[in-house]
Amino acid sequence: MEGYLGIDVGSVSTNLVVIDPEGGVLSSVYLRTRGQPITAVQEGLRKIGGDLGEDVEIKGVGTTGSARTLSGVMVGADTVKNEITAHAVAATLKVPGAQTVVEIGGQDSKIIILREGIVTDFAMNTVCAAGTGSFLDHQAERLNIPIEEFGALALQSKNPVRIAGRCSVFAESDMIHKQQMGHLLPDIVAGLCDALVRNYLNNVGKGKDILSPVIFQGGVAANSGIKRSLEKALELEITVPKYFDVMGAIGAALLSQGVVRERKKSSFRGFAVSDMNYEASSFECKGCPNMCEIVNIAVDGQVLARWGGRCGKWENLQETG
């Protein structure tokens, strides 16, 4: 069977997916990046390769996410695309007619406005943690509650408290104040969910034409409390797709199909890259006032690629640092 591999490497999670030619998911892996994208990609490839065995031949590979260039060099990607494009492509496949994509991850969040399958507007939040999953992770730790139980607790709430959510620091002090006042735990948790959604809509979603169908994806979509808060705030039904946590990887895999269809051949280096000794390093170019940070990726001491410069000088591997 033919398969297409998608890899989405972010600051919190690394996701790998293999789809069939019709877009059906054959295998998926969700891992924590833990600050080591190379190790995470290699671990994911081992798991995917072990799951598929000899039954599937990889015909194309796409990468996305904040470490898309690094992972693309590692695996020999046929296409390297940004998260907006990847998430939009996956959403339109899994939910035909989707007009709004709400994506909330561990360290960033985004909104994508689609009209007839085309991205017409988008926004991203990569600065403030109050509208991302790390906000809930931090408060869950403070409350000594596993983050996996947050959603179920929020749904038990009858009277959610209002918690200042414009800043994670203020939200924490306000949450402690509500605890000291004797509010029930489910009401506090529901209040935190409302605060995250309020922050998201006031920042990322501000001025956006949010129309149904609305698709909710990203790791935080596992939280049923956030889904309910979104539905309450938007007064719209929210759809959480089956593979909500790996939609970026699905999009990358779909995008690789079109590229390979034209090229007739994939650049995929094979699952053996999971056992290669990859190393990343960097240096500062002093050739001009830009002082660009140049990133090297090497395997077994041989530099495979360089990037990070504005002028392209270091993309020629004959140059030395």
pLDDT value at residue 37: 87
pLDDT value at residue 128: 60
**Domain 96-240, CATH 3.30.70.380 — does that match?**
no
Model-level pTM? 0.84
Radius of gyration of the chain (CA): 21
The architecture (CATH level 2) of 2-90+247-275 comes to 2-Layer Sandwich (3.30)
Distance CA 62, CA 40 (A): 16
Which stretches of the chain score pLDDT less than 70? 126-131, 133, 165-170, 315-321
pLDDT value at residue 316: 62
Residue type present at position 194: D
pLDDT value at residue 168: 60
CA 35 to chain centre: 14
pLDDT value at residue 319: 43
pLDDT value at residue 99: 96
pLDDT value at residue 318: 43
Strands of the chain, DSSP E: 2-9, 13-19, 25-32, 57-64, 79-80, 100-104, 109-115, 118-125, 214-217, 238-239, 278-284, 293-299, 302-307
CA 175 to chain centre: 28
Residue 3: closest CA among 40, 32, 39, 28: 28
pLDDT value at residue 297: 81
- Give CATH 3.30.420.40 domain extents, the chain: 2-90+247-275, 96-240
pLDDT in tens, 1-20: 899 999 999 878 899 999 99
